Amino acid sequence: MRIVVSKDEELIRLDMFLTKNLEESRSNISKHIKDGTIKVNGNVVKTGYLLREGDLIEYEEWCEVSEVVPEDIPLDIYYEDESIIVVNKKSGMVVHPGNGNNNGTLANALMFHTNNLSDINGMDRPGIVHRIDKDTSGLLLVSKTNEAHRILSDAFKEHKIKRKYIALVSGVISEDNGKIVAPIGRSEKDRKKMCITDKNSKEARTNFTVLERYKNATLVECILETGRTHQIRVHMAYIKHPVVNDSVYGNNVINDYGQMLHAKYIGFEHPINGKFMEFECPLEEEFMSILDKFRNS
């Protein structure tokens, strides 16, 4: 991973800058700087190094969690066999440990549910092939074997996995459907956010169809052609229709439920037998409750 220092970030200590932007403890950041895991302009520097505009900070993603502890957390499993699991994740649940979320994650729950999970992505991400955001609800594919994991991972890279989302966005969209094509990369101003940019970005394509229009919002179905971090949230904000209740990319925050985004459908070829499988799950009650308020306003 890499960060390019902007002008307004000059003269900030390296350890303090990374503590804020990577959401890690200062002691952990200092440790990684001292052992050379974090470098500036290709060089090992001291923790108190003062940043300059244009400095290139390079680091490897790490996780302080060496082993995921099994936790008895209920799972809403839609399908399971000897190779895969399809699970409906609740809004508010983190997919795997990291950045201070070491307990209560989907990975913790999966470890309690079964001892058979792929380990290709390491001990901290057992069975995790792909992710959805903490406050996004809906369907996820989990792999129980490394063979299935490799096949599914390649299918995601080749955009063979079909996914549909439901989102409530701010404002009234006049078009019945549309396609957003805009590259997404990490923001240089706020490393926790993604943005539309040509710098260190990847192509991103989102198709949307209007399902219902309300006085001040629109319910849409989104189909992803690519799978970038925060893709729907960034793309909808880009066309001036941010997802309702999204405190990061929008300003229409109603309560602490989280962004009104739900992964309702997933379709894929079974990694072992090749059979096409598809699953769909309903909106959560809290999502429906908020939606009803817009319908009746």
Burial of 37 (0-12, 13-18, 19+ CB in 10 A): middle
55 catalytic per annotation: no
Phi/psi of residue 18, each to 5°?
Answer: -75, -30
**Collapsed DSSP state (helix, strand, coil) of residue 119:** coil
Q: Which is the catalytic residue, given 124, 133, 135, 246?
A: 133
**Collapsed DSSP state (helix, strand, coil) of residue 148:** helix
Non-local (6+) Cβ contacts of 112 within 8 A are: 70, 71, 72, 73
Q: How far apart are CA 297 and CA 291, in angstroms?
A: 10
In the structure encoding, which two tokens stand for residue 213, read together?
A: 């229009």
Identify the H or E element spanning 149: helix 146-157
**b/e per residue 142-169 (b: at least 16 CB within 10 A):** bbbbeebbebbbebeeeeebebbbbbbb
∠ CA 87-90-96, nearest 5°, is 75
Which positions are annotated as active-site residues?
133
